[in-house]
């Protein structure tokens, strides 16, 4: 079985994480936040689902080039 293991806390960036059994996620030992990590799919080869990938907003606005 493969699990998605976060490398650092998405909130404070600390790497001191431990599995949180109750939520099936992870608990940050630094800021005590519990979060879950979901595997959305591979970012290459397969066509991504548009709704699954948030599109980054461009800072240039909607001015035509
Ligand atoms: Zn944290």
> How far does residue 33's CA lie from ligand 1's centre (Å)?
6
**25 within domain boundaries:** yes
> How far does residue 53's CA lie from ligand 1's centre (Å)?
24
**48 within domain boundaries:** no
> How far does residue 10's CA lie from ligand 1's centre (Å)?
7
Q: How many CB atoms lie within 10 A of CB 25?
A: 16
> How far does residue 27's CA lie from ligand 1's centre (Å)?
8
Average pLDDT of the chain to the nearest whole number:
78
The pLDDT value recorded for residue 50 is: 59
> How far does residue 9's CA lie from ligand 1's centre (Å)?
5
**2 within domain boundaries:** yes
Distance between CA 26 and CA 31 in Å, rounded?
Answer: 12
Tell me which residue range forms the domain holding 17. Answer: 1-38
19 in Cβ contact with 26 (< 8 Å): yes
Pairing of strands 17-20, 34-35: unpaired
- Overall pTM surpassing 0.85 (yes/no): no
∠ CA 50-37-58, rounded to 5°: 40
């Amino acid at each position: 079985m493969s699990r998605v293991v976060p490398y650092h806390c998405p909130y404070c960036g600390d790497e001191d994480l431990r599995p949180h059994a109750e939520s099936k996620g992870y608990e940050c030992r630094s800021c005590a936040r519990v979060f879950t990590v979901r595997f959305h799919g591979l970012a290459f080869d397969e066509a991504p689902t548009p709704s699954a990938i948030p599109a980054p907003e461009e800072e240039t606005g909607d001015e035509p080039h």
